[in-house]
Amino acid sequence: MSHQSPLRVAVAQYACTPKPATNLDTAVAHIEQAGAAGAKLVLLPELHNTPYFCQREDPALFDLAEPIPGPSTKRLATAAREAGVVVVASLFERRAAGLYHNTAVVLDADGSIAGRYRKMHIPDDPEYYEKYYFTPGDLGFTPIDTSIGRLGVLVCWDQWYPEAARLMALADADLLIYPSAIGWDDATDDSAEQKRQLDAWQGVQRGHAIANGLAVVTSNRVGIEGDNGTEIRFWGHSFVFGPQGETLAEAGEAGELLLADIDLHRTEAVRRIWPFLRDRRIDAFDDITRRFRD
């Protein structure tokens, strides 16, 4: 595919309210703003229609899920078409009764659904009880073809796994994209621990960019969300890294629309000087599919 270069991307970073309709209005407003700024790709935060409901286990919260296609994809598709942008949205998907996914859906610039990715790695930690709500994805690590290129879309917890990024790269993704919802617990994480966590979160994804010669685009929400006596302070710091891990843009801890220009042609140039794909010892990687080498 012939790439537009540079490709202007927009990363929407904002706080989510208890009202899904308000959150959807906010998403559409960011899409409109991004299109007016010349962006061709807009990334929204993880599960942007609702507060981060996985802080507790409650069967009533499954009512927040919706089908894909459904009301939210219809509204977002109209916004994508009118703004002339590709949108990566993140929704709580109701696939069937008792079967739900954490799903990223890609809407092309003409408003059509280009594809979807169901989150493969599902965490289960204090205040992040996602295994209760989400069935692990079953669509594999397959890039989604759009009018601007092949998007290697993954979701939040997937960003800690180099295998996921590598498989997207091996399937000829042009970009790695991660909608996220991650933050601190101010009651237990002191300032030193907060810095370590933030550095690790950005550092592992910088490594994915470098190891695969691909730009990485990551969103995060902001704000404090509390439920059942706990609080998460979402740390923001959405970013765009280039294919050598260079920072092209980074947000702070407040809401904003982050813009960056990505030269997609640099992947070819970088891989010529750092030919990691050429030098992979695929003949010696059999153990990578084992849980642990005892």
Residue 155 forms part of a structural domain: yes
Residue 294 forms part of a structural domain: no
- Spell out where 148-269 has E strands: 149-153, 175-178, 183-184, 215-218, 222-227, 230-235, 239-241, 247-250, 256-262
Residue 148 forms part of a structural domain: yes
How far is Cα 281 from Cα 101, in angstroms, rounded to an integer?
A: 34
The pTM of this model reads 0.95
Residue 125: how many other CB atoms lie within 10 Å: 10
Residue 59 forms part of a structural domain: yes
Residue 2 forms part of a structural domain: no
Domain hosting 29: range is 7-289
Residue 147 forms part of a structural domain: yes
Please give the tally of structural domains in the chain.
Answer: 1
Peptide bond connecting 69 to the previous residue in cis, omega within 30 degrees of 0:
yes
Q: What is the CATH number of the domain that holds 255?
A: 3.60.110.10
Residue 1 forms part of a structural domain: no
Residue at 152: amino acid letter:
G
Q: Output the pLDDT for position 1.
A: 47
Residue 15 forms part of a structural domain: yes
pLDDT tens, N- to C-terminus, the chain (294 residues): 446 679 999 999 999 999 999 999 999 999 999 999 999 999 999 999 999 999 999 999 999 999 999 999 999 999 999 999 999 999 999 999 999 999 999 999 999 999 999 999 999 998 999 999 999 999 999 999 999 999 999 999 999 999 999 999 999 999 999 999 999 998 899 999 999 999 999 999 999 999 999 999 999 999 999 876 779 999 999 999 999 999 999 999 999 999 999 999 999 999 999 999 999 999 999 999 999 988
Q: Which residues are catalytic?
A: 46, 119, 156
The torsion region of residue 131 among left (phi > 0), alpha (psi -120 to 50) and beta comes to alpha
The CA R_g of the chain, rounded to the nearest whole Å, is 18
Residue at 232: amino acid letter:
I
